[in-house]
């Protein structure tokens, strides 16, 4: 596989790469074993490896090219109710019930055992196993903070949809720490593991466990939300419509007839016809998509709009009033608004520009507008 020069990404970038992001991407391209790197339109600087990057490697796996929230992603499901079924009173009931049914941090009450597929697949290390039985069990079905969200949306026929964004909670971070502690350097501060030796196999096993945990986590939240919507609106989920797409992973894929370790950090797989979810922000459109299998993008597309402002800059630049205007027609718990200023729509890139920029990478199947947003702040 031939590496793509950074200048060639310009085709689907929304903003020019910052010098720091360009340096970080060049460093990744030069790391031993990395054979191709693709950059998504929502790329931005992050520790180790930028968010919005897909990297193919041979003979090496790079935990920093997946990040700590292993398996983080989106799930979406339709309900058998129109979005107009929600009014001020029922929206307030749904929001209040979400805080109970989908806690931000940990489930209340006695810890239930993890679902069977997670119990059946052991983690590589007794300390991680212990953590899974403790934190893993009480965090399954919880949202987390920051930009993890649960959102009700309306499609263009006014059908009600739910979208959830969350990952592997404490487990992903613990697996990342455990496997990067003693990992060798494969180039300018980047850490790499050999996929065929014990340390590499252990990381891949645990990363796969986290991806499964993150998927179970999102499903548990959607089931809890269905319980809420049944009580408040009498609405049921149409589970046949479920879309799942994670954006932080490493797995074996064939590209150009060659088997490679494909890493995605803040990028989703977008093979030909593959379903995807591209969220915008809590005040703008989001999209369900289908991949176009663009080889130059390593069969990937963006996982969102991407941040335009850092959290600190957003808190400085966006007033409470501006925030309220940006989410004018979206139900949120307004008592929490001050804590969500760094999540304001203006803190993110323009999602329509991002979708235009990546028209060769994925096509829009459905456009959704936000109706109600639950974020822990």
Ligand X SMILES: Nc1nc2c(ncn2[C@@H]2O[C@H](COP(=O)(O)O)[C@@H](O)[C@H]2O)c(=O)[nH]1
Q: Which residues bind Mn ion (CB under 5 A)?
A: 72
Q: Does residue 44 have an active-site annotation?
A: no
Check binding of 123 to ligand X (CB under 6 A). Answer: no
Q: In the window 265-294, what residues touch ligand X (CB under 6 A)?
A: 266, 279-282, 286
Closer of 200 and 283 to ligand X (Cβ): 283
**Which residue, chain included where needed, has tokens 């797989």?**
269
3-state secondary structure of 46: coil
Quick check: 277 and 301 in contact, CB under 8 A? no
Quick check: 218 and 148 in contact, CB under 8 A? no
Q: How far is the CB of 354 from ligand X (least distance, A)?
A: 8
Closer of 231 and 359 to ligand X (Cβ): 359
Closer of 17 and 75 to Mn ion (Cβ): 75
With CB cut-offs between 5 and 8 Å by kind, which of ligand X, Mn ion, none does residue 305 bind?
Answer: ligand X
* Interacting residues of 306 by C-beta distance below 8 A, sequence separation 6+: 14, 40, 41, 42, 43, 44, 51, 52, 266, 348, 349, 354
Q: How far is the CB of 357 from ligand X (least distance, A)?
A: 14
In the set 21, 86, 183, 305, which binds ligand X (CB under 6 A)? 305
From the list 44, 179, 263, 303, the catalytic residue is: 303
Q: At residue 75, what are phi and psi to the nearest 5 degrees? A: -135, 145
Closer of 136 and 266 to ligand X (Cβ): 266
Closest-CA residue to 275 (of 245, 241, 237): 245
Quick check: 207 and 68 in contact, CB under 8 A? no
Check binding of 64 to ligand X (CB under 6 A). Answer: no
Quick check: 282 and 151 in contact, CB under 8 A? yes
Q: What is the dihedral of CA 230, 228, 167, 77, to 10 degrees?
A: 30
With CB cut-offs between 5 and 8 Å by kind, which of ligand X, Mn ion, none does residue 151 bind?
Answer: ligand X
Q: How far is the CB of 298 from ligand X (least distance, A)?
A: 18
Q: How far is the CB of 352 from ligand X (least distance, A)?
A: 12
Helix or strand (DSSP H, E) at 54: strand 51-57
User: Where do contacts with ligand X occur on this chain (CB under 6 A)?
Assistant: 42, 51, 72, 147, 149, 151, 165, 247, 266, 279-282, 286, 303-306, 343, 348, 370, 373, 375
State the catalytic residues: 303
């Amino acid at each position: 596989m031939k590496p793509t020069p950074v200048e060639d990404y310009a085709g689907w970038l929304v903003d020019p790469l910052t010098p720091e992001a360009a340096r970080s991407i060049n460093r990744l391209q030069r790391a031993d074993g990395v054979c191709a790197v693709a950059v998504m339109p929502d790329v931005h600087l992050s520790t180790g490896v930028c968010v919005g990057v897909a990297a193919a490697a041979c003979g090496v796996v790079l935990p920093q090219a997946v990040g700590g929230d292993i398996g983080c992603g989106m799930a979406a499901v339709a309900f058998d109710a129109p979005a107009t079924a929600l009014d001020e009173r029922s929206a307030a009931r749904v929001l209040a019930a979400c805080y109970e049914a989908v806690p931000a941090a940990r489930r209340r009450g006695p810890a239930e055992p993890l679902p069977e597929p997670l119990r059946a697949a052991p983690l590589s290390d007794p300390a991680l196993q212990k953590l899974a039985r403790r934190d893993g069990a009480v965090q399954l079905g919880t949202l987390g903070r920051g930009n993890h969200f649960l959102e009700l949306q309306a499609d263009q026929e006014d059908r009600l949809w739910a979208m959830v964004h969350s990952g592997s909670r404490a487990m992903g971070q613990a697996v990342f720490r455990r496997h990067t502690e003693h990992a060798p350097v494969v180039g300018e501060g980047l850490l790499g593991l050999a996929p065929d030796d014990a340390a590499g196999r252990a990381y891949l096993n645990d990363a796969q466990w986290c991806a499964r945990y993150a998927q179970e986590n999102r499903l548990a939240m959607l089931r809890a939300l269905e319980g809420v919507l049944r009580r408040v609106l009498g609405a049921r989920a149409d589970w046949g419509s479920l879309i799942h797409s994670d954006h932080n992973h490493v797995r074996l894929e064939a590209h150009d007839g060659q088997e490679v370790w494909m890493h995605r950090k803040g990028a989703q797989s977008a093979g030909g016809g593959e379903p995807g979810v591209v969220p915008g922000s809590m005040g703008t459109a989001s999209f369900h998509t289908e991949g176009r299998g663009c080889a130059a993008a390593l069969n990937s597309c963006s996982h969102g709009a991407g941040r335009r402002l850092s959290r600190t800059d957003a808190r400085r630049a966006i007033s409470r009033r501006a925030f309220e205007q940006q989410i004018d027609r979206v139900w949120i718990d307004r008592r929490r608004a001050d804590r969500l200023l760094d999540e304001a729509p203006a803190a993110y890139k323009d999602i329509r520009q991002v979708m235009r920029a990546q028209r060769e990478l994925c096509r829009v199947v459905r456009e959704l507008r936000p109706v109600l947003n639950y974020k822990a702040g």
